[in-house]
Amino acid sequence: MSKASLILLLFIAAYCTVACGQILPNGSDFAGLTGNYSDKGIDINGDGKFEYLNIDVGIHIEYPGEYSLNGYLYDRNDKEVVWSVDHRNFTYGDHTMQLAFDGKTIQKRGLNGPYRLGNLSFTWGSATIGLIPCARLDDAYETAFYNSSDFVDPISTDKILSGSGKGEILLTLAIETIVPTFSGRYMYDIVGLNIPPLSMPVEIIGLDPKKFPRGGYDYRLQGMYIPGKPNNFTIIARGVKNLNVGLMKLQGNRERTWVSSQFMADESAIAKAETDLISPNGSYHVKIFGDSLENETKVDLQMTVVKKLIVDGPFDLLINTTGFPEGNYSYSAKALNGSFSFDELNFRDADVNQN
């Protein structure tokens, strides 16, 4: 394929993916899988439990650019265990991509190996310019034997935001944690994230598409109304070369996967990704990953959510932190239009108030 033909094909692919909602069927001239695989459990903190089951996948690149690799693990009875994704920029030649499967999810599923790597999809492109399939395998590789008990046990404690008042406040919730690195990489998985992340009855109200072309949702719950906007979700990684965000949405029996473009770090080694398009009607698996600085042993990770609350009297907001990391949880609240009077406002672990 000539360079001119490649450029034309890329242009058509980007146009058709964005404008037509379709994906071109042939990208085998771009890159392919070499058939080289290997697996190992990764014990980052040396406690004898694996945080990840990593599978190396060999690839060959003909045309440099951004590439994504998606794959699933299945047990011996073909039950799905967990999903993973990798996304990187590559030059020409042979390279290795890594599918690091979340140990918390493997332990929670309780399904033992050996595991089958299947539903493997290798694509060129990104969420910005569109995707071109390069290769796909339903039965790619079988791992060594693992017990689900070999992996870390997930720990989760819900948080309660409670208070009383009348009016509008802009609420910012933040989580800061330290993520260890291995082999120059860092990653963290949030599995089972429900939007809105609340452990309480919520009425979800779809916005009028005529007034809101990009869609969206409002939420109503006892003592509180939460407008759909702002809906800002921001991830900041410090001590890194880049940042990627992979997303799998569970919607009934359907699964939809998506990966961001790669966000490069600035001169201070800080990379930032943000979106306001995450919507409810499903459960999410969020994968945060990238390349750390050379010789860096840890990465500072911060996740922030900004929402507006309209309050009329006392309220208790039970926040579901399933899958979120242990770390420093904090909040800040700002009265809007001078209309809110803080009678009380506190943020605590849910089990503190339990008898």
Query: 150: which DSSP letter?
Result: G
Segment 238-268, tens digit of pLDDT: 999 999 988 887 665 666 777 777 899 999 9
Backbone angles phi, psi at 122, to 5 degrees: -120, 120
Report the C-alpha gap between 57 and 53 in whole angstroms. Answer: 13
**pLDDT mean over 272-281:** 71
Residue 347 has pLDDT above 50, yes or no: yes
Q: What is the pLDDT of residue 3?
A: 43
**What are the residue ranges of CATH 2.70.50 in the chain?**
3-150
Structure tokens at 164: 């009383």
Phi-psi region of 253 (alpha: psi -120 to 50; beta: other; left: phi over 0): alpha
Lowest mean per-residue pLDDT among 5-9, 55-59, 88-92, 117-121: 5-9
- CATH architecture assigned to 3-150: Distorted Sandwich (2.70)
Q: What is the pLDDT of residue 227?
A: 76
Segment 118-146, tens digit of pLDDT: 999 999 987 667 788 899 999 999 999 99
Report the C-alpha gap between 6 and 16 in whole angstroms. Answer: 15
**pLDDT mean over 187-205:** 71
Give the chain's length. Answer: 355
Q: What is the pTM of this model?
A: 0.74
Q: What residues contact residue 45 under an 8 Å CB cut-off, 6+ apart?
A: 51, 180
Q: What is the pLDDT of residue 171?
A: 80
Q: Please, which pLDDT band fits residue 283 given cuts at 50, 70 and 90? A: confident
Structure tokens at 334: 């700002």
Report the C-alpha gap between 302 and 143 in whole angstroms. Answer: 33
Under a CB-based contact definition with an 8 Å cutoff, are residues 86 and 262 in contact? no
Q: What is the pLDDT of residue 166?
A: 78
Mean pLDDT computed over every residue of the chain: 79
Q: What is the pLDDT of residue 106?
A: 94
Cα distances from 187 to residues 84, 101, 137, 279, in angstroms, run 11, 10, 25, 23
Q: Please, which pLDDT band fits residue 207 given cuts at 50, 70 and 90? A: low
Query: 19: which DSSP letter?
Result: I
Q: What is the pLDDT of residue 73?
A: 97
Amino acid identity of residue 181, one-letter, is: T
**pLDDT mean over 12-39:** 62
Amino acid identity of residue 213, one-letter, is: P
Structure tokens at 132: 């071109």
Amino acid identity of residue 61, one-letter, is: I
Amino acid identity of residue 243, one-letter, is: L
